[in-house]
Structure 1
Amino acid sequence: MKPIFKLQNRKLIVIFGLFIIAELGIEIGFTFVSARTGFYFVLQFSILMATLFILFLIERSMNRTKQELTKNKQKLQNIFDTLDVAIWSHELSSDTLLITQGIEKLYGYSLEQFYEDKSLWKKVVVPEDMHIIEEREKKLSIGEPITSTYRIVRPDEEHRWILDRGIPIFDAKGNFVDFTSVLFDITHRKESEERYRSLVESLPDMIAVISRGKIDYINPAGFKLVGSSSAAQLIGQPVKAYLPAHVLEQIENEREEKKTFEFMLNRLDGKRIDVEMSAMPILYGGRSAHQVVVRDITQRKKAERTIQFMAYHDSLTELPNRYRFKQHLSRILNSEGDRTVAVMFLDLDRFKIINDTKGHTVGDQLLQKVSQRLQNTVGDEGMVSRQGGDEFIICMEDISKEKAAEVAQRLLDVFTSPIAIDNQEYFVTPSIGIGIYPEDGTDEETLIKHADTAMYLAKERGKNNFQFYSPELLDVSSRKMELEGGLRKALDNQEMILHYQPQVELETGKLVGVEALIRWLHPQNGLIPPAQFIPLAEETGLIVPLGKWVLRQACEQNKAWQDAGFPAIPISVNISVRQMDDEHFLGSVTEALEKTGLAPRYLDLEITESIMQNIERSTDILSRLKELGVRLSMDDFGTGYSSLSYLKHLPIDSIKIDKSFIDDINHPSNQGLMVKSIVDMGRNLNLALIAEGIEKEEQVSFLKRNSCAIGQGYYFSAPVTAEVMRKFLAEGFVSV
């Protein structure tokens, strides 16, 4: 507006001046040529025309300038409207106020309201920001330009952020005569900044800005991560106190790309933690800087170390595991030079009994103490590893066969003393098999296999001893393969027969039941005991057709005895887990009963504790068997997976105490404590009790004193043929 007003005033002055000049020219001409009237007239006319022509040119030039000014003003106004900008100019000497239209958009008030109330701009400032205005006025009064940021309240009660750049103007005498302020609406920018700040300050990771080797900004998670109580404690501090020198050097040298590091960060309390940091170059405050994001990965690193450890170590004993052992053995065997290596395969005798009767907690503690004894005994002479369960492997290099035997004997000796757990003593002994490199194998698999084979020889020779591998042991494997081949043909060739062992009432000797036991009458090898072929049948799956045959034969024989007039007593048949897993098992039981005509109550199916491995399926099958009316017994109780919490819910009628516990009756260390415990438990669960493997009179006396009513074993009779069993049935008693 001001340039246009000034242009119009200047135009009037020029016109007035031209008329004065023209008039003076006429007067001068009149003075010199007054006598020549005609010439005077021409001169006067010429000057007037020239003046008018000049006026025309001036008018046209001024109009063009005015149009350009108006056009530029409109352009400027359009820019201001687009940018949410307003200009406030106040000439203090004349109290003249000039405000651009944009102020209406910024403040929400009309232009007239600001002209009417020149302090309106201050009245709408948020009270909490008035101290900013006061500080601003002080700065302006001493001639300092200032940029302020404050909030205003619009008529619709909406809060807006204003960026106000004020420029004071002083005259030559130092008087404050003019003031111009450029106003910007920065609400969107401030809200974006606040959202970003809120996000950054609420993040669980450290966000920091560093430049020139110092900390310029750090969020709350950041100062807490380094152990500080506030950001102010860290701002401006050298970052080298927290970052390793090589990390800081790489950050400072990188100006374009994002970098990621993992390192140990130094905390103020002296602790060091694992962190992951990414650094990105940015501009901060107009200068080059780096924004870093730091995450505490201490727990992740700990988990990684745990996973790494667990990948190569046993979680229970912390010994090297099978994989780590094979790596170690392979490295030794592949190293240069002639050497001898001994591999010992060690299995704990009687561990399963303790683990299943006393529970896995005791079993785990026992394994931990066993591993400690093994490590202490072997020491630096070799590596002790746990292969799983109660199996351990020991590797010793540069050792003679004699020295290996000496170490093995030390291992046997160290287990002569009991292991104490919860004030109770437990005895375990190892069976050890030894393979020597290179004569017993030149690779890790062969050495371990041969040591394992030797360990089974130690088991067969009474346990609690060590045996070296020998090529003769291959004969055992060959015989196993031979048996497997013959077993597949045995049923078709009718080589299988049943023997029967009586079950008697201990007080009276009365015959109360009979157990059917399979035997293999091999045409060349004679009578083969079940211990040699039943595991093979389990392993090959032949146990299913074999078990079906036994079930049918036993039902048929019991029904024949009853039809012959002998007293009706139940016959027991052993059922394996493999049979129960067969989808046709229930059908085969039903078929055997229906086709033989035997009443279900005279069939007693003996299951093992290994059914606990699939308790839901096993419970369903047992319940359906009970619906048929069949009796159910838990065989070899105490040697498998039984749990009282499951046992009390299984629909069984009786439990059979395993022979290994009966053997312990005469052992001075426990004096039948396990048998007493099993008997008490059975009575509490209202289950009948049958003792297996009775061989001595002392055992019978002990069982009678402790309320176990029924038993079987060689003390009464070995398993006999059906013809011999007829005699027992005829007498009704088994005499000793």
Structure 2
Amino acid sequence: MDRFGIEEIFAAQGTADRKEAAVETFIQGSTGLFLSGGAVGRAFSGLFPSPAGAAVQVLLLLLLFYAGIRFQKHRAGRSTDRAMLEHSGCAVFDYRVPEKTVRLSEGAMKLCGLPRAVRNIPELLDSGIIHPDGASRLACVGRKALNGARAQGVLRVRGASGEYRWFRITLTPFGKKRGRPEDLFGVLQDVTAQKEAELNCRRERKYRKAILGSSLASFEANFTLGRYYGGGKPMPGLPSEDGLDYSGVIGQFAGQSVFSEDREEFLRRFSLESVINQFIQGETKITMECRLCGKDGSCLWVLFTVSLIEDTHDVWGIAYVKNIDSQKRRELSLREKAERDSLSGLYNKGMTESLISEFLENQAGGIHALLILDVDNFKRINDTKGHQAGDSVLARISGILRRIFRSADIVGRIGGDEFLVLLKDIGSSEIAARKAREVCRTLCVCVGPEEREFCSVSVGIAMYPQHGTCFSELYRKADTALYQAKYSGKNRYVLYEESSSPQFWDHSAGP
């Protein structure tokens, strides 16, 4: 029975005016404004002249006294709760429903940069103190609380610094009047760290789902403990068991599945020690394009990726393998066309010079030789037999050069009838000279007897590091040696020497 059934009792007595005054007295007394026995007696005097009415009056007085005690305890409890909440880092406030006024505690004032009392609530909300994406959520929480139920919601609130942070707002209704609360007790609790962790986790799950959905294989690893967990997509070489030794698994996978030319770099990037070091240096993702070998000998280009995160002081990672074979082969084809000379199939001038320069810049030792080859009397071939015949000669010479030199050497066509070769790690200038002699002999014999006089070559040689350590210096000296070979009769090679005596550095290609 609402308000202890007072309205029902007064309706039976039929004294409407005095009933209203007594109820008002009762409400005021129950909110602790006064509990004076005289005031209560005066309010109820004359209402119940009969003995039965006197009994009702006594009952009402007892109920009123009990309600006052309850209210005092309740108010004391709320004060204690408020102090405890403030002490725990929460900010509290009161919203007086009839006045539509918010009264803030000291903590709430410092948090939001607002005065103690705020009366224009719509204007406050329009100022952006609540992030726009939380406006509807706040309205929902407010409606629920005004309907008499405790309500909660999480939204972003702008602090005194102007930065938005995540808060859990709790509204608890108090003091109902005419079916609606007169007061809403509010608590703001900063949950930014928790919310951001939740959002990161949600993004991570979404990202992982998208990535793993298109991957060939995946696994997880605890790099701090060196453990492998194969709960993702399995593939040959990557076991499905959990808790295995990471180094053992990755080493076996590299040995069985990674193409031999990519294996060393793969192990360098994804070894346990390397992953930990890269994480310490701030890396969160380690990637490598490599080739995986099938049982039938075929190769598949893949992107091997390890994404790193720190979880409870351990470094974890999720690894996945993505098929990039089609796009990689297209890329290599386009690169091949951009890097290669269309007539000879060798590297073009720009790529040849770039590759040699890059190789020399990264050298810390070793002996290498730079050779410049020039076809003798090539202009006469073009003039007497036509450019088509000249192109045919260049194509045949290019094929011979590919067979003579190793795959590790750099061979390119840098001009109409001029070729450039870097012999890597040859050991001595004598070996470079023997290779140059082989070139001169082979080219004279292989292009055909009727064209023999036109198809000999002259070669100039410069040695690294004896004659220089950069491309431009070696090229200049090899070109000087080539000029000497031409000057000395062609069809020969010359090893550059600081001496200017032709007899010392001129070597015939003949036996």
TM-score (norm 1): 0.26
The structure number with the bigger radius of gyration is 1
TM-score (norm 2): 0.34
